Amino acid sequence: MKTESLDTNVLLRVSIQSTDDQTSRARTLLGGQDRLFHVSLVSIAEFVHALMTHYGKNRAQAAESTRRVLAVESIVCPRDVILPALDIFENHPKLSFVDCLMAEQASAGDATPLWTFDVKLAKQHPAARLVI
C-alpha cells in the first residue's frame, strides 16, 4: 500500500474542535479506508508548537492532543520516538519539545550520547551529555 503524507495544518484541523470546511475535509481524508499517511517528526514538532502558541494549549493539553493524533491508525510515524518525548516534555517544563524529540531520536537510533551545550537538556535527559 502506498503511503501518502500529511502536513501540520491537516493534523491541526483533525485535532481542533471546529465545524469549518477544512476540518471536515481533514477528518474525511483520515477516515478513508486502505490509506496510510506518513507524518514527519518536523510536522509533529510544528504541531505541538502551534497548539501552544496559536491555540493556547498548555504542555499537558498539547501532549494529549498529540497522543490522540498518534492514535489514528492510518498515521505512520516514529511513535517510539514521539511518545517518550511527550512524556519527558510534560514532566520537564524547562525543556522544549524539539529538545525532547532530539534526545529521544538519539536514544531510539542507538546514537547516544547526544552531545549538547544545553545545560538544561543535559541535566534532565539521560541521553544528553554536556560538552565540556
CATH of the domain at 12: 3.40.50.1010
**Predicted structure pTM score:** 0.91
Q: Rounded distance, CA 59 to CA 48, Å? A: 9
Q: Do 73 and 11 fall into the same domain?
A: yes
Residue 90: band (very low, low, confident or very high) from pLDDT cuts 50, 70, 90: very high
At residue 88, what is the residue type? I
Q: Is residue 15 part of a domain?
A: yes
In a domain, 88, yes or no: no
**Are 47 and 105 found together in one domain?**
no
Q: Is residue 106 part of a domain?
A: yes
- Examine the domain organization and report whether 103 and 63 are in the same domain: no
Grid cell in block for residue 94? 524547562
pLDDT digits (tens, 9 = 90+) for 50-79: 999 999 999 999 999 999 999 998 999 999
The CA distance from 64 to 62, in Å, is: 5
Mean pLDDT of 4-28: 91
Q: Is residue 89 one of the residues assigned to a domain? A: no
Task: With respect to residue 86, please indicate whether it lies within any of the assigned structural domains.
Answer: no
Please check whether residues 72 and 103 belong to one and the same domain.
no
Tell me which H or E stretch contains 77: none
What is the tally of structural domains in the chain?
2
Which residue range is the domain that position 65 belongs to? 3-77
